[in-house]
Amino acid sequence: MTWGFFPLYWKLLQHVPPVEILCHRMFWSMVFMATLFIGIRRHPIFRQVKGLGQYLLLFLTGALISANWGIYIWAINNGHIVQSSLGYYINPLLNVLFGFLFLRERLNKVQCMSLALAVFGVTYFTVDFGHFPFISIMLALTFALYGLIRKKININATSALTVETIYMSVPALAYLVVTFLQGNNALNDFDWPTALLLAFGGVVTAVPLLWFGKAAERIPLSTMGFIQYLSPSMQLLLGVLVFGEPFTTSHVVCFSCIWVGLILFSVDSVIRSRRK
């Protein structure tokens, strides 16, 4: 649900270049996670990571989530909130598919029907609207891959996120220092509101990701995927009602297919849960 309010936050930084926002987001997330880790004083960070393979996987997840952040920030501040919300509708369906393909999580007929409806909706949108939803697909793909790899790594969520942000903070800090020395940084014309928003972006970013990591440790990937629909619903409403982005017939068909798929899956989940 917290992610649903993100467009309001990043719109406040619309005057800052997306790459610079991303770098601040990466660096201050590391500062927040390192502070949190020191504060709780348990699970030594690097002791949780076993071997070079896991370090490389955490570098990969760090790169994936950074790419996701960058695409999302650019989309929000360039008038593509509706398309970004579509991406996060598609993401849970990719989680379901990845859970089936890579984690041997079984799909019943209703779940297969939900996936088929989503595929039809996206295909219809692409053909009728005449524009492939590249932003949506990239947002969904990067975050679904991130969730899958984090699920496979099986490391304490706090440790994993801390290592990821440490990795990504190095190029981020280098970029910020270079642009500041060149006079091309937003902080060259320092003002407190912008500085505070950029710094607090680390907290805004890290806390929901930490919650996501904890959830990934505890529940099946397919189930986790479908409970994520609240956030894109809020983003969609913000895009259409607050920021006035277009919502065409193609959007209606695409989103309706995904919503019907969600309803079918939810009803099926409740019935199976009561039977158990």
What's the CA gap between 124 and 120, in Å, rounded? Answer: 6
Residue-level pLDDT at 225: 53
The overall longest dimension of the chain from CA atoms, in Å, is 64
Listed by start position, the domains of the chain span 2-106+133-230
253 CB neighbour count, 10 Å cutoff: 16
Q: What is the pLDDT of residues 84-125, one digit of tens each?
A: 988 887 887 788 788 888 888 787 888 888 888 888 888 888
Residue-level pLDDT at 220: 65
Residue-level pLDDT at 173: 94
The DSSP symbol for 5 reads G
The DSSP string of 11-74 is: HTTTTS-HHHHHHHHHHHHHHHHHHHHHHHT-S-GGGS--HHHHHHHHHHHHHHHHHHHHHHHH
Q: Which residues of 166-188 are buried (b: 16+ CB within 10 A; e: fewer)?
A: bbbbeebeebbeebeeeeebbee
What separation in angstroms does the CA of 78 have from each of 75, 82, 135, 143?
Answer: 5, 11, 12, 20
Please give the distance of CA 88 from its chain centroid, rounded to a whole number.
7
What's the CA gap between 218 and 167, in Å, rounded? Answer: 25
Give residue for tokens 């989103």: 255
Residue of 25, 54, 150 whose CA lies nearest to 46? 54
Q: Where are the alpha helices (DSSP H) in 78-227?
A: 81-102, 109-129, 134-153, 157-181, 192-218, 221-226
- Mark the ranges of the chain whose per-residue pLDDT is less than 70: 1-2, 39-48, 212-214, 216-228, 273, 276
The DSSP string of 145-182 is: HHHHHHHHH---HHHHHHHHHHHHHHHHHHHHHHHHHT
